[in-house]
Every structure is written in C-alpha cells, then in structure tokens.
Amino acid sequence: MLVVHALHSPGRGVLLWAEDGERPARTDRRSLRTARPHPFAVPSDELAAIHPGKAASVTVLLPSHPSGPRDSPGLVRTTARARTRSEPTLAPWTVPAVQVDPSELTDPSPDVRYGESFRHLAELVRFADELAARGRVLPVLATEAGRPVARWRPVVQGLDAVARADLARRLPPVARCEQRRPGDVAGQDPDELVGTALDRFTDTAVRDRLGRSAAMPLPLPDRPSTPAALLHALTGPAPEVPATEEGLGALREALTAWDDVGREQPGAGTALFRLTEVSTMHDPADPDPDPLDQTGDGTRWEVRFALQSTEDPSLQLEAPDVWAGAADGLIAGAQDVLLAELGRAAQVLPELVRSLRDARPVGLTLDVAGAHRFLTRDAPALLAAGFGVTLPRGWDGTRALGLKLSASSAPAPGVVTRGGLGRDELAEFRWSLAVGDDELGEDEISALVAAKAPLVRLRGRWVAVDADALARGLDFLRRSRDRTPTVHDVLAAARGDVDAPLPVTDVDARGRLGALLDGTAERDLEPLPAPPGFTATLRPYQERGVAWLAFLSSLGLGACLADDMGLGKTVQLLALETHDRAEDSTAPTLIVCPMSMVGTWQKEAARFAPDLRVHAHHGAARPRGAALHTRLGEVDLVVTTYATATRDAEDLRLWRFHRLVLDEAQMIKNSHAAASRTMRSLDAAHRIALTGTPMENRLAELWSVMDFLNPGILGSPEVFRQRFAVPVERHRDAGAARTLRRITRPYLLRRVKTDPQVIDDLPEKIEIVQDHRLTREQASLYRTVVDDMMERIEGSDGIERRGNVLAAMSKLKQICNHPAQLLHDGSPIHRAGGRHRSGKVARLEEILESVLAAGDKVLLFSQYTEFAAMLRPHLSARFDTEVLYLHGGTPKKRRDEMVARFQSDDGPSVFLLSLKAGGTGLTLTAANHVIHLDRWWNPAVEDQATDRAFRIGQKRSVQVRKFVCPGTVEERIDTLVASKRSLSDMVVTDGEDWLTSLSTAELREVFALGSDAVTDDPGETDE
C-alpha cells in the first residue's frame, strides 16, 4: 500500500510524491550534506498511473537516520525494519514527483493511503473554491517571468480570515518540507506557503467556473483596448495581458483602489452596527383590523454606531460614549479606531459616507427601503467583512415569503404492487403563499399587495416582501390550478426541486403520501405476505419491508433497505422478485455483491425461491458477448461481483434489467471509483441498495448511494457539498442535517434487531467485558515502549507527532496480545515448561476449554492477521482440534467450504477470522460464542462481526466476550467505544482523533500502565 504526500511548490504548483513499504528502507550512501535519492519513494510513472500529471523531481527535508529517511505515519512495511537508536535529524532527499492539477486533490483513489499533507492541501483547494463561489475575489495585475499577467486574488475577511489562519496553523510539516535552495535546513514559512497556494488555487477556481460558462472566455478583438485585454486575460486560460506599457500603467492605477481590500490589519476594536426602530406613527391603542400591523411607512430607522473590543467581544461602547472619552483606557486609541473602522466599513456600505461628514458620527438614518436593504443585503456583507451587526427584535431573516404545498392521497386499501400511488390517488394538491411556517390567508395576501412596501410587520414580526416576487408567486398559484399534479411533483417539492419563482418553505402531506415523506410508509402499508412458491415464512416486519419495496418500485423510486445485520434483507428481496414474476414475465434482475456473497445468494435463492432461475456470472469461464445475452434471456436473477460487473460493463449496458440490486452497497461509497461509475451507468427499471451502513464516515458516501438509487435527487456533488457536507460536517448545522434527513427518508428503510416491535424471538445476546492481566514480560515491554514513544512524542509536532502517537497505540495493543507480535521474532506462544507469556492467551485457553467441553462452537475475531496466524497452530495443538482460519487472502471456494463445514453439526468448533475479511457477509449461526480478541475503534465494526452469529436462525443465547486489560490502552479503547455508541449517526469521526489531539501529559496518563494491569501470580516468572 502506497502513502501519497502533497506539497505546493511556489514555482511549480501541486506536487505529489509517495512512499512504498515494499521497497528497501535503507540506502548505502551515508553523506548527509547533499541530497540523496529517497530509497523507498515511488517512481513518477507509477504515481502518474494513479494521479495523472507531469513527471518531476523535488528535494525534501525529512526526519532521517544515517541509513535512510524515517517511515511516515501510515506506511505499512511488508518486512520489519531494523531499529536504530540514533536521534533523527532533518536531511535532504530527492524524490520522484508528479506535477498535477489541483483538482486531483479532490479525487482520491481508494487504492492508496494519503498523508495529512494531501488532505490539508485538498482542504485548501476546497476553501479557494468556496471563495470563488461566493465572489470573494478581486482582479490584480502582476508580473511573472517579466510578463504582465492578470490574476484573481482571494479577498479574505471576517470568518474567512479565521479559516485561513487556522489552515496556516494546521499546515503539516511534510507539506512545507521542500528544500528551495541547497543548504536550507528548515521548511518554508506556513503563513507564506498557505498564502501563495491560496492565491494560485483561487485563480484556478475562478477560471474553472468562468470556463464552464457558455459566454466565456471573452473573445479578444483584433485590436483590443486595454480593458478588453484585461478581461480576456481574466476569463481565458492564458493570464498574459497583451497591452502597451501606457495601457498597463493605466490598469495598475485603476486597480490600486482595490489593493487594500481584505488586507487591513485589525486594531484593538471593531465597529458594531445596530439597526434600531426609532419611532412609529402607529398608535397601538387603536384597533387595527388590517392583518398587517403596519407597512413600515411611518417608522424611522437608524443604524447606530458602536465600538466592540476584539479581545473581549462583550465590551461594547456606543459611539457617543467613545467621543466623550468613556472608552479611553479600555481600547487603545478608541476614537481613532472607530473612525478608521467606519472608513473601512464605507467600502462595504457606501451610504456611511454621509455620516462620515460629521466629525463625530453616531449613526445613519434610513427610510423603510434603506432598512430593508440593510436587513437583506448590507448586514450580511458587513458580517462577512468582520464587523459586528445587531438587528431589531422581531426580525427573522428565515421568515421569507415562500410557497407551501398541501397534498394528501386518497385512501387506497390493499397492497400497491403495480398501479402504485398515481395521479388518481391525489385527493388534494394545493399551493399557497406562506411566510415561514404561517400560511397566508386571502385578506393577508390582499393587504400585502396593497402595501407595496419592501418591509412589513406581519403578525407581530418584521418580514421582507419583494413586490415582484409576490406578483410572480400569485401568478404561479394561478397557473398551478391548470395542471394535473403527480406524486413525483410532491416528492420534488419536498426536496426543493421545483421550478417556482419562490422557495418552497413547507410541504404538508397527509395519508399514504404523508407517510412516504415522513419515512413511515412501511408501517402504513398493508403487509405483503410470501408469494406462492416461496418456501420461507416471512416475519411481520419482513412482510412490511417487501410491501415497502413494492410500493417504491410501483412509483419508479429507488429504495435503500438498510435493515440491521441479520434481519433478512436477502429474503425480502427474493420475496419481492418472486412476487414480480408471479404477475408477469419480466427481464432479469441483476444483483451485484462482494465475491464472498455470490454463493450465499445462490443458496438462499435455491432454498427459499426454487422457481427463480439463477445465473452466477463470475469466473474465467463466464459467458461474454452474444453468449451472455442468450444466457440473460433464460434466467430471472443474475448474480455477479462488483469487479466482474465493472470489467463486463459494456456487455451489461446493452440490457435494460428489471431491477438492479447492490448488496453491501457501501461498496460504492466512493462515487469516483470505477465500480461506482459502472453501477450508475447500468440501465434498470428499478434500483435497490441493500446495506446496514449507508454512510460509514462521510456524507459523500450517502450521496453516492442515494445518487445511484435516484439520480440527481441530492444535486451534483458540488451542490451537495456546499448545501449539506460542509454545513453538517464542518459546522454541525442542525438545520442542514434535518433537511437532509427529510429529503432522504422517503427512500430509506432501517429497522434494528434490538427493537422488540421488529423481532421478539431472537435469543438473548450477553455481552461480557473479559478482563485479563499482562504477564511480567508484557508489562516490561509495555513500560519500555511507553518511555521510548513518549520521548519521541515530546520531541515532535504536527503530523510527525500524530504518527508517533498512533505508532505507540498500535505497539501497545500488540503487546497486550502477545510479546512475539511486537517483536516479530517467531518466538513460541509459551515458554519452556508451558509458562504463559501472554495473559490474554492464558485467559483465552481457559474460556475455550469450557466452551469446547460444553460442545459449543466459537468465533474468534482479531484485527491482526499476524496474531491470528500465531494462534491457529497453538490452539489446534493445545485442544487437539481443527481450527478454521479465514483471512483476506482466502479464495472464495475455500471460504464457502469452511463456512459450510463450520455450520454442519460435525464440523470444527473453532473459527478464527480476521475482523476485516470475516466481519461481514457470513452466516455463522452454529456458533453461540463470539470473542473479540482485540478491540477496534468503531463499535459498528465489532457489531457487524458479532452479527455473524447473532442473527435470524440463531436459536441459542449468544455470549459475546470482549478482551480488555484494565490499566492499559485497551481499557481506554473500551471506554471510547462505549461513548461512541451515543454519537449522532449523521457524522462519524475517526476513532483515533481523540488520542492524537491529547497533550503530552494526557498521553502519559492514557498510556501509563496501571497497577492492576499485571498478573499477581507468583508462579509466573520470566527467564
């Protein structure tokens, strides 16, 4: 596995380089004075196959020993690297690189790992794109290589300035490791490097956006004027400005006015603007039959000035007090600061110039139109520029004029399988005007039309009303009465995808239609029982699941069945297919699944739906071309793998399948991967995704699954990122999260096995935290590693510190398993005479002895294949029994044989599995014991592994043991896993982040060996 790094070279742009753990770690050359070739760097042509670009070379300063550079965090070596006790020093190395377009940073490959520098530079690219999207850019005339060029520069103010400073603060050392000149012994200045990169990325982002416009770039006339030459250089791919020296001088002078925008140095205070309603002609004692309290014509508005401390935002001084000297001693040079801030704000709000004619300005008087303009346009602009703004009580910018849709479906008893919820079942479909959640009555609408004011007080609150938008809204209401609506119109309105002059602020749906939008349609539909010829007895929740799938199929809507592991998603899909084919003859359904699941689908179909004709399309002998099309015409189900479907995409695209089903649909979570693109390109009348985890880590994964099911439902990736991913993941925006749930819930059905309303006859699951103690050998190694790694951690920072922390955690977990796993020396499990070297192995033997004596079967999960490979021969010899072992390299045929043997009554009783390879896709209900030998950060991963035994078909209580040594890092992981179960399912963070962000003192506490961690058995000694 490669680890890819990135850096921004001011002269060349984005450079990628990579390390390969399979290459030699050492170099024979010993000189540290000159740059040497990096011994395990990846050649440029190999890296270009992953990220296309121009071959290059770069000299980087890396922590090194005399024999070679240190491995970066995340690099996995196939062979152990010789240890060295010398302190690392920065040394220059030449590495092959690839010069790439910045867009490559936002298109990672699933086949490699990426370092912090790559992710940080990708974040900088996204930040530049956001600035370009918001128009936070200005043109600038510069000189490059002696040529005049026009560039777009970022305007970074307010919150953007905070974000830019944070990016500079978090710049990983490896991202600034380029040695610009021979002899340099330190990296580049983070602030300078981030500024240079942001300038380049912003210019690229603006040109990319302009390039997508049909009107760009602006053509260059035969004899261009200086402004035309500038516009051509700003909109086209070539930035050079073809103008005379005289013209260039005029341009520079004209652009000078913008030079200081976004580059001001903050003082000790900043201006604060308060919009205040001063007085009114309305007499509140008089009864007002008008639905509008008042139009705002009789109200005087004023923007009052104040000075707010930048160090203590709660310190706010009104302008009159500042001029009276009340701020002296609180803010240095308060009067000068306020005047300077007002002058700076005048660049954003030109109307302030009127007030600046006074020697001591205190405010700005506005009419109702000006107040409306301040509320809707000027206040956001001032906030973006870093000023403070307070608005009058009763103003709610979210209560804008919009459209509300009221709809309901006619009662339609019975099961919907073909006719669906169509035009005839919409008993009501009515558009109306609304402000926020309040639907407007006819009197209120008439009063709004008559008021002709941009700002009105409606039901006690100020509301901005655009007269033109109001007229367009009324016209839309009139036109909507002339067309027949459909269910798809309601669904589009619910997600805001409506061609309307006003935003849709509310959708009020009732009946079956409302249940669909609320995500409760499964409970509202009549259950669909097992069809004739289907041999399984469906549970009530499965009957409802089949009815829900049939319901969405009848509407032509893709469905994500996200039931918990073990609840029978396969059975529900087979029942749906049998139902469809009982009604008429249809095209085949294509089922795409991981390789390990092909045999499962064949066996489940043969067992529960024997009338379905199944073809497993995989292997070297599979039919292609005409032979495949002949075969497809003879079957009902085609089961294939993601890899095979990708390779045979051209053949499969020639068919329109009855249904396209993705099992373990999280396999397409990376929308850029070849498999994901292939799945979206296949043609089918209906699409279904089966997965217990539609989103594992990032919202982009949910977009990929939903876009496969119903293309375009969440917009383009860019729109989705700006509308949901950034607000939810970066800013924890609860409103955006609610909107996303509202849009996706009609198409997603999830039930969990712990819900008694779903399944009440699953046997009990007993979870046990299995304590064990370290042997003295383990304890000695543990302390040595803690001392050694803490010394390294204290002497490092940034990405190097993070790597040292993660390396320490990994080593300590390996010690808790067995000393030989850390030492990689092939030493035996036990010492001579049978004395234990590992307290965990000793406790495992005790448990297995009782499990096997009772005639039970057990699953053993470990995240470390090396530990599992050590255990297998030891346990086999210790208990004189066969131990099955499944890992990532196990062929499918062998895998299926092992599962079948373990499930048989006379098969082996111990099944050892790697957590990654055996944690999903298997049914191993013969086991009623599950043991997690070492713990993983994500509780979902452990639960999926446990669900191999705790699922439908299990008749006995399942005992789940999780090994934990008190007083060690294992106990800290157990605490973390318990806390993560309460986190929101919307955003999942990396489990290791909490560890790498701790201070050195806190890390000492986490890694320190507790007094209760070591065995007190006096008979256990080291030799």
> What is the reported pTM?
0.50
Tell me the β-bridge partners of 860: 912, 931
On the question of pLDDT at 312 being above 90, the answer is no
Q: Encode pLDDT of 336-350 as tens digits.
A: 889 888 988 888 888
Q: Encode pLDDT of 258-307 as tens digits.
A: 877 766 554 468 899 999 887 554 444 444 444 444 444 456 789 999 99
Question: What local confidence, expressed as pLDDT, does residue 80 receive?
Answer: 57
CA angle 724, 728, 733 (to 5 degrees): 110
Question: Which of the residue ranges 181-190, 427-436, 451-460, 763-772 would you say has the lowest mean pLDDT?
Answer: 451-460
Question: What local confidence, expressed as pLDDT, does residue 773 receive?
Answer: 84
Q: In what order do the strands lie in the sheet with 910-914?
A: 765-771, 958-964, 929-932, 858-862, 910-914, 883-886
Burial call 500-526: b when 16+ CB within 10 Å, e when fewer: bbbebbbbbbebbbbbbbebebbebbe
Confidence of residue 78 (pLDDT cuts 50, 70, 90): low
On the question of pLDDT at 1016 being above 80, the answer is no
CA 46 to chain centre: 28
Question: What local confidence, expressed as pLDDT, does residue 233 receive?
Answer: 84
Q: Is residue 992 a contact partner of residue 809, using CB atoms and an 8 Å limit? A: yes
Which amino acid does the sequence have at 428?
E
Orientation angle between helical segments 776-794 and 1000-1007, nearest 10 degrees: 170
Q: How far apart are CA 214 and CA 44, in angstroms?
A: 36
Q: Which residue has the tokens 């893709």?
A: 558
Question: What local confidence, expressed as pLDDT, does residue 235 receive?
Answer: 82
Query: What percentage of the chain exceeds 90 in pLDDT?
Result: 24
Residue 113 parent element (H or E): strand 113-114
Cis peptide before 217 (omega within 30 of 0): yes
Q: How far apart are CA 551 and CA 569, in angstroms?
A: 16
Q: Is residue 306 a contact partner of residue 382, using CB atoms and an 8 Å limit? A: no
Q: Which residue has the tokens 């700002």?
A: 455
For residue 697, the SS3 value is coil
Q: Is the dihedral of CA 893, 896, 898, 901 positive or negative?
A: negative
Orientation angle between helical segments 159-169 and 116-133, nearest 10 degrees: 160
Residue 912 parent element (H or E): strand 910-914
Residue 917 parent element (H or E): helix 915-918
On the question of pLDDT at 1019 being above 50, the answer is no
Q: Which residue has the tokens 């099944």?
A: 911
Q: Which residue has the tokens 């530049």?
A: 128
Number of helical H runs and strand E runs in the chain: 38, 36
Chain-wide mean pLDDT for the chain?
A: 80
Can you read off the two tokens belonging to residue 26?
A: 């050492």
Can you read off the two tokens belonging to residue 212?
A: 């997508």
- The DSSP secondary structure of 114-166, one letter per residue, reads E-HHHHHHHHHHHHHHHHHHTT-EEEEEEEETTEEEEEEEE---THHHHHHHH
Q: Is residue 404 a contact partner of residue 508, using CB atoms and an 8 Å limit? A: yes
Q: Which residue has the tokens 């399912």?
A: 985
On the question of pLDDT at 770 being above 90, the answer is no
Cα separations in angstroms, 507 against 411, 451, 465, 655, 743: 19, 27, 21, 38, 12
Which amino acid does the sequence have at 883?
V
Question: Which of the residue ranges 60-64, 717-721, 977-981 would you say has the lowest mean pLDDT?
Answer: 977-981
Q: Encode pLDDT of 371-408 as tens digits.
A: 888 888 888 888 888 888 988 776 765 566 778 877 77
Q: Which of 346, 194, 186, 323 is nearest to 264 (CA)?
A: 346
Q: Is residue 996 a contact partner of residue 951, using CB atoms and an 8 Å limit? A: no
Which amino acid does the sequence have at 135?
G
Q: How far apart are CA 748 and CA 708, in angstroms?
A: 13
Q: Is residue 490 a contact partner of residue 507, using CB atoms and an 8 Å limit? A: yes
> 3-state SS string over 995-1016?
HHCCCHHHHHHHHCCCCCCECC
Confidence of residue 425 (pLDDT cuts 50, 70, 90): low
Confidence of residue 993 (pLDDT cuts 50, 70, 90): very low
Q: Is residue 59 a contact partner of residue 92, using CB atoms and an 8 Å limit? A: yes
Q: How far apart are CA 976 and CA 995, in angstroms?
A: 10
Q: How far apart are CA 262 and CA 257, in angstroms?
A: 12
- pLDDT winner (highest mean) among 241-245, 471-475, 508-512, 706-710: 706-710
Burial class (CB in 10 A: 0-12, 13-18, 19+), 283: exposed
Cα separations in angstroms, 749 against 477, 692, 713, 746, 858: 34, 10, 17, 8, 32
On the question of pLDDT at 451 being above 70, the answer is no
For residue 815, the SS3 value is helix
> Domain coordinates of the chain in residue numbers?
1-114, 116-263, 269-390, 402-518, 526-749, 767-1007
Q: Is residue 818 a contact partner of residue 826, using CB atoms and an 8 Å limit? A: no
Question: What local confidence, expressed as pLDDT, does residue 429 receive?
Answer: 77
Q: Which residue has the tokens 């190694």?
A: 781
Question: What local confidence, expressed as pLDDT, does residue 449 receive?
Answer: 72
Q: How far apart are CA 659 and CA 590, in angstroms?
A: 6
Question: What local confidence, expressed as pLDDT, does residue 283 receive?
Answer: 46
Q: Which of 532, 871, 557, 508 is nearest to 710 (CA)?
A: 557
Which amino acid does the sequence have at 168?
A
Cα separations in angstroms, 242 against 144, 224, 267: 14, 8, 41
Backbone angles phi, psi at 105, to 5 degrees: -70, -20
Dmax (CA) for the chain in angstroms is 101
Q: Is residue 608 a contact partner of residue 535, using CB atoms and an 8 Å limit? A: yes
Tell me the β-bridge partners of 462: 395, 457
Q: What's the full length of the chain, in residues?
A: 1023
Tell me the β-bridge partners of 409: 426
Question: What local confidence, expressed as pLDDT, does residue 790 receive?
Answer: 83
Question: What local confidence, expressed as pLDDT, does residue 19 receive?
Answer: 92
Confidence of residue 431 (pLDDT cuts 50, 70, 90): confident
Residue 561 parent element (H or E): strand 559-561
Q: What end-to-end distance do the CA atoms of the chain give, in Å?
A: 39
Confidence of residue 605 (pLDDT cuts 50, 70, 90): very high
Could you give the count of Cα atoms lying within 13 Å of 398 in the half-sphere of its Cβ? 5
Number of CB atoms found within 10 A of residue 668's CB: 24
Q: Encode pLDDT of 187-226 as tens digits.
A: 678 888 999 999 999 998 888 887 766 555 566 666 667 7
Question: What local confidence, expressed as pLDDT, does residue 185 receive?
Answer: 65
On the question of pLDDT at 114 being above 50, the answer is yes
CATH 3.40.50.10810 fits 526-749, yes or no: yes
Q: Which of 23, 17, 170 is nearest to 93 (CA)?
A: 17
Burial class (CB in 10 A: 0-12, 13-18, 19+), 596: buried
- pLDDT winner (highest mean) among 35-39, 476-480, 483-487, 570-574: 570-574
Confidence of residue 985 (pLDDT cuts 50, 70, 90): very low
Question: What local confidence, expressed as pLDDT, does residue 125 receive?
Answer: 93
Can you read off the two tokens belonging to residue 121?
A: 């530079």
Q: Do domains 526-749 and 767-1007 have the same CATH topology?
A: yes
Can you read off the two tokens belonging to residue 108?
A: 């990672």
Superfamily of domain 767-1007: P-loop containing nucleotide triphosphate hydrolases (3.40.50.300)
